[in-house]
A and B are shown apart, each in its own frame.
Chain A
Amino acid sequence: MRESADSAEIQGIGDDAAIERVLAGDRNAYRVLVERHSHDIYRLAYRMTGNAHDAEEVVQEAFLRAYQKLEKFESRANFRTWVYRIAANYAIDRMRQRRSDEAHRELPGKKVEDGQEFEPLDMAVDTAPTPERLAGSVQLASHMEVALQELTPMERTAVVMRHWEGCAIEEIAAALNSNSSAAKNTVFRAVQKLRRALAPFAEGHVAAKSAGMEP
């Protein structure tokens, strides 16, 4: 016997109706929500974590946590935005943990204090790539992923949600558990870091555009 989400009727129901069914004891109705929103959450998670394995982990955990907290979901809210927030929160924790592990492994002498984010980009300011060393590179995008990895988890989340996913500042603030002003500053700071880290490439990009070589 196929499960509920396979029937045409249940596939067509809205998020609110599916949530209502789940809360009434029909666990299979949750499948509709999972199948409907998995791709969007995966895209966000991939952009936040930078790899498919972590992204898949984030998606699964986000849907599991959402199911467990479903009673707390406010019916007037948007389910997708809500899961976004859960996914972003979990991705931040996961990235922090990964950074912490890597910091201990790669820099055994460096102490990572509680609550202090390890920011290799800040450390790398003095040793930033010089235009000479990067002269051979013409593809800004190919270096972007490296620069994104150097952002703190909060900054990466903020910039991904703002500039990739087009989220409102309030949504980002909710995901970061902060206020709008702090979320805005986090977005701006992230863009500033990217701008500085990729300055040599951007220079070439702007020059190429000015010369009519790029669209």
Chain B
Amino acid sequence: MNHPDELQLIAFQDGEMKERQEMDEHLKECAKCRAELERIEAILRAMNALPVPGPGEDYGRRVWQRIAPQLAEKRVHWWQGWFEPRRLAAAGAVAALVIAAFVAGFFLRSNRGEPLDVTNETFVRQRVLWLAVGEHLGRTEMMLMELANAGPNVVAAKQVDISSEQRRAEDLLEENRLYRQTALQEKDPALVSLLDSLDRVLLDVAHSPGRIAPAQLAIIQQRISDQGLLLKIRVIQQDLRKKRGEAPLSPPRNDSTVQERNKA
């Protein structure tokens, strides 16, 4: 092999040379080329030795603080959410309810000897939504009631454990958004409005740490109370029960709901 030129030596050093074996053999015999290769390696070693001053441990947080105000919310189409893997469980539950409603309706009518009314599709769809949303509102109400009644075990405690509510809020948040999208499609403004209000509170709770200061808890409780969420849930639930042709339930006695009702 002839003496390699500078670029060939650089390529060899980089590991990107095809005739590697020939070059190895040449370098064993040629002191001049070995010295040239050593110069190239010295340059790269010196480059690697250049320090990069660290931007500080909290640099990531600072970057976020600077860019966050400039980030617009991503617009999401209502149907996109149903096909996301994390929502498939909730979507599956709703699909199961749809099937159950159809099957139940079919057998009910068969038993009564009524013909299956295929034109009543809208009613069936709405019935499924009422049923599923009723379940969802029941779970949300339960979680919010627990949160509204939560407090430190000891008066002087610096933190309150809401990890259980926080985890449930995360799940409920996913469902809530799905039902809101469906309610929008079904043009049910009262339900959309309630689910909107719930979305904000659920988001706050879901994004809270598992243990929060009593003052933070008080802010959440105040928000639940100010918006009359528990009362609104009960009103919509009663309405849904009426729509489904079921007898209204008498509300459970609870301090927060009583306070909210009085306020309303």
Binding site for B on A (CB under 8 A): 1-10, 17, 20, 22-25, 27-28, 30-31, 34-39, 42-43, 46-47, 52, 55-56, 59-60, 63-64, 67, 70-71, 140-141, 144-145, 148, 159, 162-164, 169, 184, 187-189, 191-192, 194-195, 198-199, 201-203, 205-206, 209
State whether B46 touches A195 (Cβ < 8 A).
no
Q: Which of A9, A10, A202 contacts B39 (CB 8 A)?
A: A202
Q: Which residues 21-77 of B sit at the A interface, judged by CB distance below 8 A?
A: 35, 38-40, 42-44, 46-50, 52-55, 59-61, 63-64, 66-68, 70-71, 73-76
CA distance A202 to B66 in the complex (A): 42
| Minimal beta-carbon separation of B59 from chain A (angstroms) | 5
CA distance A52 to B62 in the complex (A): 14
Q: Which residues 129-175 of B sit at the A interface, judged by CB distance below 8 A?
A: 166, 170
Question: What are the residues of chain A within 8 A of B74 when measuring CB–CB?
Answer: 22-25, 27, 70-71
Chain B binding surface SS class: helix
| Minimal beta-carbon separation of A142 from chain B (angstroms) | 9
Question: What are the residues of chain B within 8 A of A144 when measuring CB–CB?
Answer: 43, 46-47, 49-50
B208 within 8 A of A: yes
A-B pairs with CB below 8 Å: how many?
157
Q: Which of A10, A42, A206 contacts B55 (CB 8 A)?
A: A42
State whether B10 touches A191 (Cβ < 8 A).
yes
Given known A35-B60, A60-B66, A206-B35, contact A198–B55 (CB-CB < 8 A): no
B209 within 8 A of A: yes
B219 within 8 A of A: yes
Query: Which 3 pairs of residues, A with B, have the shortest CB-CB distance?
Result: A35-B60, A38-B60, A140-B46
CA distance A39 to B56 in the complex (A): 9
Binding site for A on B (CB under 8 A): 6-7, 10-11, 13-14, 16, 35, 38-40, 42-44, 46-50, 52-55, 59-61, 63-64, 66-68, 70-71, 73-76, 80-81, 84-86, 166, 170, 177, 204, 206-210, 216, 219-220
CA distance A34 to B68 in the complex (A): 10
State whether B44 touches A64 (Cβ < 8 A).
no
Q: Which of A23, A36, A195, A202 contacts B10 (CB 8 A)?
A: A195
CA distance A39 to B57 in the complex (A): 9
Q: Which residue of B lies closest to A29 (CB)?
A: B207
CA distance A31 to B81 in the complex (A): 21
Question: What are the residues of chain B within 8 A of A2 when measuring CB–CB?
Answer: 207-209
Chain A binding surface SS class: helix
| Minimal beta-carbon separation of B101 from chain A (angstroms) | 27
CB pairs A–B below 8 angstroms (25 shown):
A1-B219, A3-B207, A7-B206, A10-B207, A30-B71, A47-B50, A56-B55, A60-B63, A63-B67, A64-B71, A67-B67, A71-B74, A141-B47, A141-B50, A144-B49, A148-B47, A162-B14, A163-B48, A191-B10, A191-B43, A194-B43, A194-B47, A202-B39, A202-B46, A209-B42
CA distance A35 to B67 in the complex (A): 12
Given contacts A10-B207, A64-B71, A202-B46, 20 further A-B contacts (CB under 8 A): A1-B208, A3-B207, A6-B207, A9-B170, A24-B81, A35-B60, A37-B60, A38-B59, A38-B63, A39-B60, A52-B55, A59-B63, A70-B74, A140-B42, A191-B43, A195-B40, A202-B43, A203-B39, A206-B35, A206-B42
